[in-house]
Chains A and B, each alone.
Chain A
Amino acid sequence: MATHVHTHSPASPSERLLEPVWAQVMDITNEAEGISTYWLKFTDPAVEAAYTFEPGQFNMVYLPGYGEAAISISSNPADPTLVGHTIRFVGNVTRAISRLKVGDVVGIRGPFGSYWPMKEMEGHDVIIACGGIGLPPLRPAIYHIMNNRDKFGKVYLLYGARTPKDLLYPTEFEEWERAGIQVQVTVDRADEDWQGQVGVVPMLFYRFRMDAPNSVVLTCGPEIMIRFVVYEGLARRVPAEQIYVSLERNMKCGQGSCGHCQLGPYFICKDGPVFRFDTLQPYFNVEEF
């Protein structure tokens, strides 16, 4: 797909939030049916040199003629010269992205949003509980932990998908295990050839003994899964202020102006996507929200 490239490229971080900068698709990894990772490199070396992001943040990915979509960053924060976006093709913009080829160009605004509290988590055990497309926003946190493994206690990844073929990044699990992350993978349904676990993500909390007061839980995935992960964490007496959730809700402007992603008093795009659970607790089980 051919895309026009503007000559002006805003390099300062504040400008980058308002006007897209351009990035070329360097590689595309097919992760599962309808999900691919796009590896992007900024066309302007000054932008590339200035660009950094925190685990859990997202970019607005812009395709001229189609619009923008908020996509979490799924790559290693220690190497922001190649920015990965794992994208599920579900709407007008993302389906257009699915037709991109290596060498095509997209617009990027960002990075936006709050992030996983990597610094505050140091010295704690970490439980990363996620499902489906909820793993990509947590992969940068996994990489950060691997890059700084001695700063964290025990680390568990509890990951689930609908079926074995829907699992993302399965070829990386061994490397994560070697880095001292205990990886528990489950699927909701399988045939008899599947040798792994079958069951839902919250049930993986039964697979290990937790030092609850010293544990931090990070979770992302379908909201119903998040709700039950939080129940399991709270049931084991993990303090609510040590549980962090990342939410995804129809983000549009990325600046808290349009209200499309509002949850109670919060705008997911501006105040989130990562929230400490105790701040969300009053709105969490309210049907209207």
Chain B
Amino acid sequence: MDPLDELKLELQKIPWFRDLQIKHLDLIAGISQLRDVKAGEVLFREGDRAEYIYIVLSGRIALDMAVPPRGKMRFHTADPWEVIGWSSATPVVHQRTASATAVVDTHLAMIDSTKLRELCDQDHDLGYLVMRRLANIVASRLMSSRLQLLDMFAEPENKNAK
């Protein structure tokens, strides 16, 4: 199969890509590639230039932060259809704030962040769809981070506990 056709076929499997018009799917396919990473392989490291947004097509990617002296702390894993590296689509983020490692063999779509921003600037209909999706991702990550921060499974201080 032609690599571009294979790429489009993979992108069409992503639920939120089904909202895109054909011309928008073609535009995004033009700035995207497929990538496979083996279990244990590092996709990017904290501090690297943030050049791509990734969408997990199969497998699992873990996000870790190095926390001296505790070592690497895993704070999120991304399973199929989840986006990682989303902040590189914003104009202010230029470097990775966490490291991403494949937990198992993983198949990804990678989208050039700079070119995606340019496409969004040129075509505001596409830009609206992309930014609306990114807003959903930010909202769910914010909710998840907030609940993790609350440490909801910590033993509550309860003087009435029996």
Contact = CB atoms under 8 A, between A and B. Distances in A.
A228 B74 CA distance: 22
A225 B152 contact: yes
A189 to B, nearest CB: 7
Nearest to A96: B162
Interface stretch (B5-13, B47-55, B84-92, B141-149): B141-149
B60 A250 contact: no
Interface string A131-170: 1100000000000000000000000000011100010000
Nearest to A70: B162
A50 B71 CA distance: 55
Interface string B57-81: 0001010100000011111110100
Contacts, number: 93
Contact of A188 (B60, B143, B153, B158): B153
A162 B151 contact: yes
A192 B77 contact: no
Contacts of B1: none
Tell me what chain A mostly uses at the interface: helix, strand, loop, or mixed: mixed
B154 interface: yes
A263 to B, nearest CB: 15
Contact of A225 (B82, B147, B161, B162): B147
Contacts of A161: 153
B97 interface: no
B74 A191 contact: yes
Nearest to A132: B153
A212 interface: no
Q: Find the residue from B62, B101, B154 having the highest chain A CB count within 10 A.
A: B62
Interface string B8-34: 000000000000000000000000000
Contacts of B143: 200, 202-203, 228
B122 to A, nearest CB: 31
3 closest residue pairs by CB, A with B: A91-B161, A69-B162, A162-B153
Given A92-B162, A200-B144, A203-B140, 8 more contacts: A90-B155, A161-B153, A162-B154, A191-B74, A197-B60, A199-B76, A199-B144, A225-B147
